[in-house]
Amino acid sequence: MKYFALIWSNLRRKKVRTTLTIGSFAVALFLYGLLAAIQTAFNQGVEVAGVDRLVVRNKVSLIMPLPVSYRERMLQIPGVKAVTYATWFGGYYQDPKNFFPQFAVYKETWLKIYPEFKVPRGEWEAFLQDREGCIVGRKTAERFGWKIGDRVPLVASIFGGVWEFNIRGIYDAARSEDDTTQFWFRSDYLEERRAWGKGMVGWYVVQVADPNEAARVAEAIDGRFANSPWETSAESEKAFAAGFVKQVGNIQLLILVIGGVVFFTLLLVTGNAMAMAVRERTAELAVLKTIGFTDASVLWLVLGESVAYALQGGVLGLAAVKLFTLRGDPTGGLLPVFYLSPGKMALGLALTVAVGVVSGIIPALLAMRLKIVEALRRV
């Protein structure tokens, strides 16, 4: 710590270069934070997936429905604890850009299977009493300024017409990574009003009694409906969510490539800045060695400087991106769970330090190996 003043003084030596180098780190870490938040948003379904839940969809495609009668038949399969279902509504509020997910849900078991969603008992009771009632996630309610009791019209792009709903409750989530942008309304209301596809649902969610038996239960479900007009494909919720992400593309790889390029560029920028700093200070480093600083202390001084650049920029970038993500989804609904977790921030900080060390290591080694007599001769 007693060398801190020395490191700090060196950082202030070339203010423009220091500012630009720190700025490079800040921009890179801001980008890292954004990519991490986007990755979290895409993987949110995978991360929060319940280990005891199976998703059962039409074997042909997710957009093909399944008969509502399957629920009772699934309940008879050993290992199945509860079954619920939902149907994608695909509406919008006022403008097609106002996207958020709306599901017609089976009210009897929906919350039992998704205990992570928290709805005050009174509000849920009110929802059960009102056929046109709906429950809205906190984020969506805040986004549109909705409150309990409001009557909300949605344009139904799939089923046609304008559907009106009464907001009977607002749900919150147990975990920050849970999605609170959803809009649930009663499946019996959908069944009553829709002109086509009656008696069909979008997909089922099955709760299994023992998560270790999930694979066997999934196989049993698919076996039960094999060779029927509506064959099923049952898989764990995690696998279902992962498959959903894959449909968009290999987001993980994309993020890794972009992140890798950014950090590699950063490595070059900082490495160059540190190399210049060491070259300019050859005589000063020789003086330090002359008065008794060991080769190792000179190495740590240069590395400390490099890491100090990195940390300042890194903290700045991470703080900025954290503030940015606190404002929520910047896309208006495409990334419902958009946040930067403490784990990702810690990883960002660790990456920052690593880049600081790697970019400073060659200049630091050069400084360490500096021959005093030769360096002093250059003064």
Residues binding other proteins (CB under 8 A): 2-3, 5-6, 9-10, 12-13, 283-284, 287-296, 372-373, 376, 379
Distance in angstroms (rounded) separating the CA atoms of residues 28 and 189? 49
In this complex, which beta carbon is closest to other proteins, that of residue 13 or of residue 147? 13
Q: Up-side HSE of residue 101: CA atoms within 13 Å toward CB?
A: 14
Residue 308: name the closest of 6, 23, 8 by CA.
Answer: 8
Give Cα 201 distance to the centre of its chain: 29
Reduce the DSSP state of residue 62 to 3 states and report it. Answer: coil
Q: Are 322 and 34 in contact (CB under 8 A)?
A: no
Least gap, CB of 303 to other proteins (angstroms): 17
In this complex, which beta carbon is closest to other proteins, that of residue 272 or of residue 282? 282
Residues paired with 183 in a beta bridge: 102, 136
Least gap, CB of 7 to other proteins (angstroms): 10
In this complex, which beta carbon is closest to other proteins, that of residue 248 or of residue 296? 296
Least gap, CB of 290 to other proteins (angstroms): 5
Cβ atoms within 10 Å of 82's Cβ, excluding its own = 18
Least gap, CB of 379 to other proteins (angstroms): 5
Distance in angstroms (rounded) separating the CA atoms of residues 88 and 342? 33
Least gap, CB of 270 to other proteins (angstroms): 20
In this complex, which beta carbon is closest to other proteins, that of residue 149 or of residue 292? 292
Least gap, CB of 252 to other proteins (angstroms): 45
In this complex, which beta carbon is closest to other proteins, that of residue 289 or of residue 344? 289
Alpha helices in the chain, H assignment, sequence order: 4-11, 15-48, 70-75, 110-113, 121-129, 138-144, 187-193, 214-224, 237-248, 251-280, 282-290, 295-326, 342-369, 372-377
Q: How many residues does the chain have?
A: 379
In this complex, which beta carbon is closest to other proteins, that of residue 94 or of residue 294? 294
Residues paired with 54 in a beta bridge: 206, 236
In this complex, which beta carbon is closest to other proteins, that of residue 135 or of residue 288? 288
Q: What is the dihedral of CA 308, 313, 314, 319, to 10 degrees?
A: 130
In this complex, which beta carbon is closest to other proteins, that of residue 15 or of residue 327? 15
Least gap, CB of 371 to other proteins (angstroms): 8
In this complex, which beta carbon is closest to other proteins, that of residue 17 or of residue 138? 17
Residue with tokens 């089923």, as numbered in its chain: 159
Token representation of residue 316: 């700045």
Q: Up-side HSE of residue 76: CA atoms within 13 Å toward CB?
A: 6
Q: Are 138 and 171 in contact (CB under 8 A)?
A: yes
In this complex, which beta carbon is closest to other proteins, that of residue 254 or of residue 283? 283
Least gap, CB of 316 to other proteins (angstroms): 22
Least gap, CB of 10 to other proteins (angstroms): 6
Least gap, CB of 366 to other proteins (angstroms): 17
User: 90-96 — which CB contacts under 8 Å span 24+ positions?
Assistant: 90/156, 90/157, 90/158, 91/154, 91/155, 91/156, 91/157, 91/158, 91/163, 92/154, 92/155, 92/157, 93/144, 93/152, 93/153, 93/154, 93/155, 94/155, 96/155, 96/157
Q: Are 379 and 294 in contact (CB under 8 A)?
A: no
